[in-house]
Each structure stands twice: as structure tokens, then as C-alpha cells.
A and B are shown apart, each in its own frame.
Chain A
Amino acid sequence: MTEERIEPTVPADKANWAPHVERLAAGGVNVGGRRLNGPQQGFGPMWQKTYKVRIPGVAPERVISEWKANYGSFWPSHSRFNAPVAGIQPGEVGNIQSMQVLSTGIMVLYTDDTSFSFMTPEGHPFAGWITFSAYDDGGTVGQVQLIIRPSDPLWDLVFLFGFGKGEDMMWQHTLRSLAAHFDIRTEPETNLVKVDKKRLWRNARNITKNSAIGSAIHILGTPVRALRRPS
């Protein structure tokens, strides 16, 4: 006999998760109208990248609360995160500008008191999730964990030729800044695991949504848009 599962009317963690959307309604260049991609919608090898920093004496809840409130300020100066107006809340979209030229974004997938996660839209350099968490492991640890694949063949090449290292440096910088926010000077630990070395060739067409190409087209089109604008 099969037991019927009785579900509560409203699941306890429903408010922690973003609502289902087919395409992002809000967002800037290379974000609005895009679908969200998990790692299985990407192209290149799948990586689990984990970066950690020790923040002793600060409760995990406080680490996450400060991280959410100051998220963009912990980034390196060459990249900018425009936080959603409502802050880091499930379903909100943040825009990213990198090196003055690359425009993309993220959607906030999940938040709770000790973690929050982002999911990337089509065209982002990588497809997958980034989870930021704080937990007790003989003292508080702040952690960034990415589970990602380069989004398309072009981003896969870019990752091979140094973008992957740049990604590592960015999150290491973020964690150094997070620790410094609590007056702690320390170096993060990095652990990189290639979960699946295969390339998903069925997703090679993702290149049509590549945000670098989209950003370049957007920049080249700026004079035309200016001319069309009514004076």
C-alpha cells in the first residue's frame, strides 16, 4: 500500500526560494528576457570551486547579514555589482559590469539566515549557481562555492586562457574583503574540483547568447541609439 504524503499548505522554506520564472523580466543588457541556466545547461567542464575564509568570533548569521548588505563593496574595483533595489532577496535580479565592457547579471535563487545563492542567466560567462554561506567549523567560516560550467565554446576558451584564474582571484579578493570588514586579515583557502570533464556539445549553441558578444554589439550600437533618440 502506498502512503499518501500530506504536505503543509505553505512549505516552511517557500519564502527562501525565488518563484519560478520562464524568463527574467527585469535586468539590464544581457539579462532581461533571458532564461536561467544551471550547470547542466552550460557547455564546458563542470567545476566545483570552493573558497573559504576564517572569521572567528563573528556569528554566521551576522556574517551573512553583513555580506548581503555590503555585497558589491567586497568585489574588486574592476567589477561592479548593482544590487537589486530590494536587496538580496529571492527572485531579485542584480546587474554586473566587468572591466567597463562586459554586462551580465544574476538572479537571487535562495536566501536564509546563513546562506544565499545566485543563479546565472543565459550568456553569463558560466552557467550555474554560486552559494555564499557561513557556518561553524571550530569557529565561523565564510564560504563561496560555485558549481558551474563555462556557458559556451567561447567562454570555455576564455576560461582556458586565464579567465578561470581571474575568477579564483575575484572570489579570493571578496573573501579577504569580507574578513577585513570584521577587522580580520587572513588569506582564503581555495579548493577546485573538476566534477565532470566532458563538454556538453548539445549546448554549444549557447554562444548565440554570449554576453561578451552581446555587450560588444550594445557598445557598437550606442552612437546609433543616440542618433535615434529624439532631441
Chain B
Amino acid sequence: MPGTAFDVRVDEIDGVVTLRMTGDVNRGAQEPLERAYSGTTGGSVVLDFSDVDYINSTGIAVIVGILAMARAAGREVRAFGLTDHYRQIFQITRIADFMAIYDDENTAVAAG
């Protein structure tokens, strides 16, 4: 259920940046997620949704903002840890057309 504050942690290994999100991806996620992304440089970006329980339509727009910034910088974005429900939402919103979604972290990181 919604109501968990958003947080994000950045891991960077071998040029792959992983943004580990926890809590709800909604309006409150925009500023911390953009700040976390802006603090990274270099190669691919992997979004970890394993500890995300809720995403609303504003949160989808936040994710697309990150996707657009990364693509403008020539950085590939991949994702893992989405529930089946949110995988379907990513298909409805057509984010899945531009961001490969994987079942687990190892596959997502290795895909680059």
C-alpha cells in the first residue's frame, strides 16, 4: 500500500551505476532520484525496483525523466525487480519499449 517514504542509494561497480530505490515512487521521488542520477557519470544505469511497493502516474513520469536524461547522455537504462503488475504498467505506458526489464540484478547488470 502507498505511504512509504522514497529513498535511493547509488552503487557503482565496473562502470555500471545501480540506483537502488525503496518506498513509493511518486511526486516525492523526483528530487532525490534526479539528484542521485545527476551525481553519477559514465556508463549504463540500472534501476532496482526490488524494494519499491508502489508507483503512481507521477512516479512513471519521474522514471521517464531519468530515462530521457540518460538517453540524452548516451547512457543505456535497464531495470529489474519489478512486480508483474508494474511490468504491465511499463508496457501500457510504453516505457518498456525503451528500457529493457530483467528478472534479476545479475542479468540486468550483465546485459550491458
Q: Which residues of A pack against B, CB within 8 Å?
A: 2, 5, 7, 11-14, 16-21, 36-41, 46, 48, 109-110, 112, 115-117, 119, 129, 131, 133, 135, 145, 147, 195-198
Q: A20-B91, A109-B93, A147-B64 are in contact. Are A14 and B98 (CB under 8 A)?
A: no
Give bound CA distance, A135 to B58, whole Å: 12
Chain B residues, Cβ within 8 Å of A36? 92, 94
Interface residues, chain B, CB within 8 Å of chain A?
1-2, 27, 50, 54, 56-58, 60-61, 64-65, 67-69, 71-72, 81, 83-85, 88-89, 91-95, 97-98, 104
A–B complex contacts, Cβ < 8 Å, 24 sampled: A7-B83, A7-B85, A11-B85, A13-B2, A13-B54, A17-B89, A17-B92, A18-B92, A20-B92, A36-B92, A37-B94, A38-B94, A38-B95, A40-B67, A40-B95, A46-B68, A112-B56, A115-B58, A117-B58, A131-B58, A133-B27, A145-B61, A147-B65, A196-B71
Nearest CB in chain A to that of B73: its residue: A196
Q: How far apart sit A110 and B89, CA to CA, in the bound complex (Å)?
A: 10
Partner of B69, one of A12, A16, A135, A195: A195
Cβ-defined partner of A39 (8 Å) among B56, B64, B69, B83: B64
